[in-house]
Structure 1
Amino acid sequence: MSQMDDTDRRLIAALRRDGRAALSDLAGTLAISRATIRARLEKLASSGEIAGFTVLTRADVTAAPVRGLMMIGIEGRGADRITGRLQGLTSVQAVHATNGRWDLIVEISTETLQQFDDTLAQIRRMDGVATSETSLLLSTRRPLTRG
């Protein structure tokens, strides 16, 4: 993968704010040509820096307003098995493998605190889950373009 420069980072930040922005709007915002924007997007996609695009709907935000991160410590070699079980839970939005103190970080979204608590209890009962720590997400802010 190639190194990203400041222009690449500013372009990605602009896309995080508005993933549907027209090339001409991005060019105006970043003060570079449309051709440069197109070439940068192609380069970022082909190098894997941009892995894909997604849509976040109002329903995604309002249907599951209780959100949190659960850090999980696993005993033994059960990470793949536990990851598979986690991915089967409807309240689990993503499972991230990590290093350091925690083996997995799980993004959870539910409609109510009771559902959130039930999900935590279900995960804690999984064979191989040794320890966990959970933090509720109170607000989310996306990075702003620098410079």
Structure 2
Amino acid sequence: MDAIDRRIIAALQRDGRMTIADLAETVGLSPTPCARRLDRLQSDGVITGYAARVDPHKIGLPVSVFISVELEQQAKGGIEAFERAVRGFDEVMECHLMTGSRDILLRVVVADLAAFDQFLEHRLMRVPGIRNMRSNFALRTMISRDVLPVPT
């Protein structure tokens, strides 16, 4: 990746609906070489997709919960089984394998406390291999970034 590729990535993170002509002008290329670079960035997996950013409050999902999970076994099979199980839960927005005293950190979004209770009772607590869980509710999001700091 060179400086132009990085400018393409930075520009598309700001506006993923940008036309090739606008993108080319922004990064200082003509449209055809810009389109070739964009295709390469996509085929190489640098750009993994495009999506709309949605305000969770405005669609009725204002509650964000961080759940620390300790597994009974930290072996590869136990971690993979847990990942397969939670991958099917739409409420799980992020799932991270962690260092330290907790093995997994989940970020879950729900409509309210009753929905969180239902998620815990009927979904997460039924996943085998969990030793312990601890939930923390986000009171307010102070910083949320979707744009990565692309090194120049």
Once the two structures are superposed, the pairs formed by residues 25-104 of structure 1 within 5 Å of their partners are 25-57=22-54, 62-76=59-73, 77-96=77-96, 98=97, 100-101=99-100, 102-104=102-104
Tell me, yes or no, if the aligned pair for 2:56 and 2:62 is still in contact at 8 Å: no
Tell me, yes or no, if the aligned pair for 2:62 and 2:110 is still in contact at 8 Å: yes
Which structure has the greater CA radius of gyration? 2
Deviations 1:18-40 (A, max 9, x none): 21110111122223322232121
**5+ residue gaps, structure 1:** none
| Length, aligned pairs only | 143
- Tell me by how many angstroms 1:82 deviates: 1.8
Tell me, yes or no, if the aligned pair for 2:98 and 2:105 is still in contact at 8 Å: no
Q: TM-score by structure 1 length?
A: 0.69
Q: Does 1:24 align with 2:21?
A: yes
Once the two structures are overlaid, the 10-residue window that deviates more, 120-129 or 85-94, is 120-129
Deviations 1:123-146 (A, max 9, x none): 356432234555637142233777
Partners of 1:60 and 1:87 in 2: CA distance: 23
Partners of 1:5 and 1:105 in 2: CA distance: 34
Judged with a 3 Å threshold, the aligned counterparts in structure 2 of structure 1 residues 91 and 41 are, in CA distance, closer, same or farther, namely same
Q: What SS is found at the alignment partner of 1:78? A: helix
Q: TM-score by structure 2 length?
A: 0.68
- CA-based RMSD: 3.3
Tell me, yes or no, if the aligned pair for 1:65 and 1:110 is still in contact at 8 Å: yes
Deviations 1:59-81 (A, max 9, x none): 79633232344343322142222
Partners of 1:72 and 1:6 in 2: CA distance: 40
Judged with a 3 Å threshold, the aligned counterparts in structure 2 of structure 1 residues 27 and 99 are, in CA distance, closer, same or farther, namely same
- Tell me by how many angstroms 1:104 deviates: 3.3
Judged with a 3 Å threshold, the aligned counterparts in structure 2 of structure 1 residues 22 and 116 are, in CA distance, closer, same or farther, namely same
